[in-house]
Structure 1
Amino acid sequence: MLQLAQKAKSPPDDAATCSKAKSPPDDAATCSKAKSPPDDAATCSKAKSLPDDASTRTKTIQKTTSPNQTESSAPATKAKIKRKSIQPVKKQITKEDAMKDSMSIINDAIFKSKSNPIVLMNTELQQGLAKVASVLQDGSSSSSRFAENLVDKFWPIVSGITEKPTTDALDKMCTKFHQLSLQPEFIAIIENFLQQSEIIFDTCKSTILIQCLLEGLTRSFINKAVQESYLVFDMPNEDATCSASMQLSVQEEQALRYTAGYIAQSLLKSYEKRKESNKVAAAYCSVLSSWNESMSCNIQSANFLSYTRRLVEFADRGGLFSIKDQVFIFFRRMEITLKPHLQHCKDFLQFNLKQELTVKLTESRIVQLGWESICELNENMSTVLLGIIIDRWIKLHYMLAQSCIFLRKIKNEKIPLKKGQKD
């Protein structure tokens, strides 16, 4: 840093700054600032406090100036910094984490089991859970071994749900839960611990106590996964958090129903060409065709979404794809999720907007629940079809934005229209 300060006071640098002073008034202002002593002191103090910035600035000056040019003739260029989108690293609960916190998980499971309606109606079960909690609080080797064995046996049930919280994963968890709760080896672990702790019940009440403990253990595992990762198992109230400006108007909902039918019909036509030779295309055709409700054949009863069909009824000449209400609700959830981000596009100038919107839609719980209500395929095929629909939906927004920009240019600059373009 002392060498940099000496270079700033050396005569060749002063000559260079004087040569810059002969250039336009902006350079003269900078030269006059460089001659004043307080500014030099401030720059020296800044250079001492930020050594990395000073070194990087000197390196950029050396790179921009060629060997044939001097520093006085080189134009001042700013180093361009490419900012990459920083996404949070998603964390997943592992078996090792669960084994370390086995005692806290079991205690939390006992606490949740106390609120079970079956336990609340039986005082003996309440006393039994209180005894189990008191034995575990002693911290003996037998209690810690019991907690580790219980978590070890129970981990395969929740291992799938901690990776991807979908309906398919929930169904698998329930299946494994009932299979494990009926295994005699697993029941023997809890019964042996109850006998060692001198907690004696009859067969019926001990079975009920074991089932209550298992349910509480499941809930405590899920709560731990939610707290220590970015997983969301319950449907958040995203509609309530949305402001009034983010809600859709009547005209927007009518246009949304029309465009959603267009996307479904275009995908159905493309997959119908390959359904005879491709089983996946045939499965997609069955799902997409189930979304259609023919307005000519079925007399639709009036409901709270009848106003959204007015544009389709007005524009229909016998070939439009009229989607069902559940499909419309799914597309409306996607639009409500996208709208806040599309209205604040300036915040996403440094990001890949399409990638960010795709992540927002795929991770939204209300979008997942809406999708699972209209698609009954397996997890892999359902995920692929959802990605295709999201991609089409985002591309449609891009095309509409391009057309709006073009129309604004025509109105402002009065550009003559080409042949085939309507006014």
Structure 2
Amino acid sequence: MLPPFEIAARHRPVSLVTATDVFPLRAPFGAVEAGISGAGSAELALDGADGTRLAVRLEDGRASLRVRIGGAEQALHSRRYGRVRAPATRLALTLTGSQLAVLTHERGAWVARGRIDLREIGGPDTRDPAWLAGLRPDASGAVDDVRAGSFGQLGLRDIRLVSHADGSPYRVAGGDGTDVLFTATSAGPGFFDTAHTSVWSLCATGGISWRSDLFFERPDRPGVYGDHATHLVRDGERWLVATSTWSDFPARKADRVPGSLGVTLATSTDDLTRGQHVLATRRLELPTDGASVGVWDPHLVRPDGPGGGWLVGYVSARRFFDFHPLVAAGPSLDHLALRGAATDRRATEGTTLLRVGADWRVLASDGRDNRRAVRGRFPVFDTALREVGTLAAPYPTNIPWPTVVPPDPGMPGDRWRLVTFDGTRYAGRLAGYGTHGDVLIMRQAPAT
């Protein structure tokens, strides 16, 4: 079985602006931030070619949103969160999906001070590539050190190892030997619709760094989406990208439509591990064990190499949110049949296929909403989803995925690692649940 693990490092790579050479934007994920240089008002904006102006302002200690649509301007502020409680050193505007937010940097951290869904006020279709192409940043008033570009992240979750199709880690040359890569959900200042997929490297000494962002086109509707909970797979000379369609999943329960949440698949021969990419997708049909309102968390493996069949791990929900892990198998990704389902779970996700010696195992994460016997732990299953053990590792808050990194055979003395996340939030109460979490690096515990 796998060795025990202990926490070795913790990271929180907060960055509102990740890349500054991305205008025009290719996806609705952009940011403008600046230092506060004086006592007067400060304003940052994204101006559209159609006359739309999306702006944020800091004036007399209050942060607000200023939105001009069709020649009419609306001033919007939060009565509860808009007043800045400590001297702000920086001001920021973020556009994440259809959400416009204003943040201030206070006491060493960003705080969300106002947010609006532009769809609720008759705003533009922010996912329209033509509209995005016309956006330009602007800054005025008491500001300096202006930075504008693509939106980065307030936290990371849904961490998944980038792998070859046979399940082995995809490794690249790094400063300390070889790095492994992982995908993550880059959290925005709100619910799931403010997040997107990013690619990161993990070096041998435990540091992490951003490498790329991935965005998606849907097969059934126009526009560019920040879908996330993604597995990036190197299959010969191409990449396979399996992702979950979380980008327009509504925060309000009444707005959730059964069947709207699923998994898509993209292919590309570009280097997806650097830069920014928009990928066309198709629906990946995944079998379920009965009535299902949605599937997510895909993980793809071809155990027997080129020409062999596939195993796919994922999650299915009986209702929002009552979900459990499944595994399907088939000769191709278009011909899959259900192999197993852990139907006794109701809050288990992060389904991950891992070769351990000569055997394939399925790892998952039992959230604390499960029954007591299977709560707050990392179960280990066979590929028919029969439990055969548990992973001996600290179980952080939320539902952390068990992303295990096997030792590098090219590095003598390398040991097992586990990369996961927790539910730590950031940017204050307005930003809320969707901002989690910290990245936790665990290492194989020493023998006792």
Q: Is TM (by shorter chain) over 0.5?
A: no
Greater C-alpha Rg: 1
Structure in which a larger fraction of residues adopt helix: 1
Choose between structure 1 and 2 for higher RCO, CA contacts under 8 A separated by at least 6 residues. 2
TM-score tier, shorter chain, comes to: under 0.3
Structure in which a larger fraction of residues adopt strand: 2
Task: State the TM-score, normalizing by the size of structure 2.
Answer: 0.19
